[in-house]
Amino acid sequence: MTIDTIPLPQLTRQDFMSDQTVRWCPGCGDYAILATVQKVLPELGIPRENIVFISGIGCSSRFPYYMNTYGIHSIHGRAPTLATGLAIANPDLSIWVITGDGDGLSIGGNHLLHALRRNVNLNIILFNNRIYGLTKGQYSPTSRVGAKTKSSPMGTIEHPINPIGLALAAEASFVARSIDAHTQHLGEVLLQAANHVGSSFVEVYQNCVIFNPNEWVGLDDRRTRDDNILYLEHGKPMVFGKNHDRGIRLNGFTPEVVDLSDGVTETDLVIHDAESTELGYILSNMEYPTPMGVFRRMTDRPTYTDGLMGQIAEAQTKRGVGNLDELYRAADLWTVVPKEQDEPIESHISGRMADELDDEYVDRLAFGEEPAATTDLQERLAEETVEALAAHAPVEVDVHTSLAKAIRQMNTHNIGCVMVTDENDHLIGIFTERDVVMRVAGLADDLAAATVGQYMTPDPVAVRADLPIAHALHLMSLYGFRHLPLVDDDNRPTGIISFRDVVRHLHGVVKGTPAD
Amino acid sequence: MTLRQELETEQVRHMDLQGYCLVESETSVRETLAHMRGAGGRTALITRDGELIGIFTERDVMRRVAGTPEMLDGPIDAVMTPRPITILPDTSAADALWLMDDHHFRNLPVIDRQGNILGDMTHAAIIQYLAARFPVEVLNRSARPDQYPSKPEGGD
């Protein structure tokens, strides 16, 4: 086998998780974005050594530490410049710029603009929480007029930047928006951004639970989001609403919301066209419903790297390979003579900073709404452990057990999953009904000869009994795990929980809550 | 509003009901399995002239097919569960949940009053609903449980 024909190993999300302790506040939206990126990357089929995450400064900019890829935690606002250099030096890389509303739009606003207009092949993810979180709550370039923050106790008097409008104006060839709490939508948008060749800009509405928890009310709530979000799909009419009963019609250049019942049909609505810059601008200003998805996608533009490399190749064919040293020494050389030291300058500073200034200032802070109180159920999700789910005793089979026997055992015990162990009783795999459907039924001929070890899912995600139920739900909802094996500290099976156990437990909890 | 009230006012058609594939009656079991694998191992809803006549789940594969390969070339009708319990799109999520829990159903096909198949209600739909309903508690967690900070300022 030559080196070219060795297939790439199929990566999983765990391959993209680093060993670093994640240092974000509990409940921060950054967690959901991190989990979604780690879920999406394996789908791209790019080896880890060809992926680089580059960030500036901010909470979101801690991202590269948590990705098991190459990464640079760079200078405030300057991530796009390092990324541009890298994209030119090695065009084979998949480069992700992680920035925030402060880092990308204030400190590094200029660099962002030029990376976008040059169409450098980058995926720029801008986490927008409309606040400076890392420095503890000052207003940012995207904070709304009147937002009361630690640096604007009377409300900001500045008009915010519209990141989507800015990216369109900076000629980004891919402009999209999503939100942390809708991980499915976010995953789809990130996948499209990654597959776009050229500068991709994705604004992600992100929840800062500590300093700006109510910013995305209506959009981050499962109950109301579909009534407030317009999901943009190229070539499809702009229908929105939980019941798909409202739409967007253009009245001149102004989009208006119409009810589909009042004699208005889908043919009267605007058809989304991601190739239309004009429509992109109109949508970028829309606040209700909030458009999410791809605003604009241009596929006909060459990337910066292609253009630059093309010119270098052309110059070299015409004039030969250059010599930098010769160029330096070609003309206009002079010598700088050291100057005698001047007398040192004396500075005169007087006066004193008031010690109590800080306290006085903090006392004057007036915050807006308090975050919504957590309910009993939310607390129970976070505090109760999977032990409360009364996990089933594990049914274990040895790795050499025949498939026929394993299936018989599952049927006898009426269970959907067995835990596969080695000779030391360590968990090495699980074998589920889904494995039977996907790999065994109608595919494996001799069930008595085949062993469960050949068909199991090896190295499954296993958890301990003190795991909060919320975390079990996290794993099940983001990655679709239907069974979670429980193990002790020595990786020996102690139980198993399934979707059904979680739902049954919640059923009990919900039954106990008042009906009105 | 309590979660109970929410689930009582939420209609199942607003949930993620996409985990299924459609298979026509008289299709062989082998071919049905191929359809299911194409849909990521999902449940097969068996139809005749567009009308739901049966359901074939992973559980049925385990019980009626996996150990008896001679069933593979027979029609799916022989091994499916005929006339499954179905729900309407405006059934409340709470009712669907109770029905699933009390009767140990893992799938409830969603059929409108004209008999059109709109989806399949599963436990996964409930899990997805809860995750998106409580993003701060459920979605916004560290990938590794041991990396989750306990203090609001993080970094402990």
Q: Work out how many CB contacts closer than 8 A connect A with B.
A: 211
Query: In whole angstroms, how far apart are CA A207 and each of A478, B98, B136?
Result: 18, 33, 9
Supply the CATH number for residue B55's domain.
3.10.580.10
pTM comes to: 0.81
Could you tell me if residue B154 is inside a domain? no
Which residues contact residue A305 at a Cβ distance below 8 angstroms, ignoring those fewer than 6 apart?
A87, A88, A91, A120, A121
- 3-class SS at A217? coil
Residue bearing the bigger pLDDT, B69 or A409: A409
With CB atoms and an 8 Å threshold, state whether A502 touches B127.
yes
**What is the maximum alpha-carbon separation in chain B?**
62
Specify the range with the lowest mean pLDDT, choosing from A31-40, A378-387, A397-406.
Answer: A378-387
Could you tell me if residue B106 is inside a domain? yes
pLDDT bracket for residue A98 (50, 70, 90): very high
Q: Whole-angstrom Cα distance, residue A71 to residue A76?
A: 15
**Is it the case that residue B79 has pLDDT exceeding 60?**
yes
Could you tell me if residue B148 is inside a domain? no
> CB-CB: which of B66, B127, B141 is closest to A499?
B127
Q: In chain B, how many domains are there?
A: 1
Residue bearing the bigger pLDDT, A494 or A353: A494
Could you tell me if residue B76 is inside a domain? yes
In DSSP terms, A95 is beta-bridged to A52
pLDDT tens, A265-322? 889 999 999 999 999 999 999 999 999 999 999 999 999 999 999 999 999 999 888 8
Could you tell me if residue B155 is inside a domain? no
Residues on chain A touching B30 (C-beta within 8 angstroms): 442
Q: What is the 3-state secondary structure (H, E, C) of A1-68?
A: CCHHHCCCCCCCHHHHECCCCCCCCCCCHHHHHHHHHHHHHHHHCCCHHHEEEEECCCCHHHHHHHEC
Rounded to an integer, the average pLDDT of B21-40 is 92
User: Among candidates A512, A492, A487, which has minimal Cα distance to A391?
Assistant: A487
Could you tell me if residue B33 is inside a domain? yes
With CB atoms and an 8 Å threshold, state whether B58 touches A381.
no
Give the range of the structural domain holding residue B105, as residue numbers without chain letter. Answer: 8-136
> CB-CB: which of A23, A378, A513 is closest to B4?
A513
With CB atoms and an 8 Å threshold, state whether B5 touches A515.
yes
DSSP for residue A513? S
Residues on chain A touching B138 (C-beta within 8 angstroms): 381, 470, 473-474, 477
Domains of chain A: 6-232+272-297 (3.40.50.970), 237-269 (no CATH), 376-511 (3.10.580.10)
Total residue count of chain A as it appears in this document: 516
Could you tell me if residue B1 is inside a domain? no
Could you tell me if residue B145 is inside a domain? no
Q: Whole-angstrom Cα distance, residue A122 to residue B48?
A: 50
Strands A174-179 and A200-205: parallel
